[in-house]
Structure 1
Amino acid sequence: MTQFRAFIAGLVAVILVGAVPATAAEWKEFTPEALAQAQSEGKPILVDVFAPWCSVCRAQNPILTQLTREPKYKDLVVLKADFDTQKEQLKPLNVRSQSTLIVFKDGKELDRSVGDTSQLSIEGLLDKTL
């Protein structure tokens, strides 16, 4: 079952990466190394912690996809993390549940939200990275 979840998570990431136009945010799979690299480059970052079975995560996804297509987020790096398969990797970020969104700017965490499905407040969270 774990391999199936990992497969689904990978498939979701591939679909998301392929669906984002070139002028939009850059979507990548979360790894501690990818986070460290984006932080060292001073890039604005969103860590999107999801679970394939999570209805809130499924509600957040189209909002995030739509927002990160906007040109104002062209420099944003979106790191998609699977809560079920990456718990150990997420411990340093103190992630306690899926549907967690964490934004970073200049290498530091600015803010986070958990379970938010409001487009307006998610946009406000992303705007903090600008």
Structure 2
Amino acid sequence: MTEPDEVIDDDGYPTDEALDHLRTFTGTTEEFVTYVRSLMYNGLSVLEDFTNDFGRPEKRLTLITAGWSGCESVVGTLCETMFHLMFWESSFRGGKHTFTFSPAQWEMSLSWGIPAAGSAEQSATN
């Protein structure tokens, strides 16, 4: 599935096509994070480099929805993905969600979407 032409509608909400693309996204962690950040209209996304407690470099993505339902739908979709399973660190009241990656993980290329989505589509065609 290719990236949709429009990811945010006129009211500031992610389009259904944009969320579908998130569910089936394949690419590097960096590409996935860039796409997720493009959907956080009316929210906040911060990507930063930091040193973890063991002195190793890592990256941290912080998404803050501030209760905006458009951003909540992005995070809700994100929570169903392999990306969330692998990199989720914490979530807090107010819609703050944090994910961390090592430099090697940042460059990984995978199908980040919903694990069952590909197999369900495959089963429907058989």
Same fold? TM cut 0.5: no
TM-score by length of 1: 0.31
Q: Higher helix proportion, which one?
A: 1
Bigger Cα Rg:
2
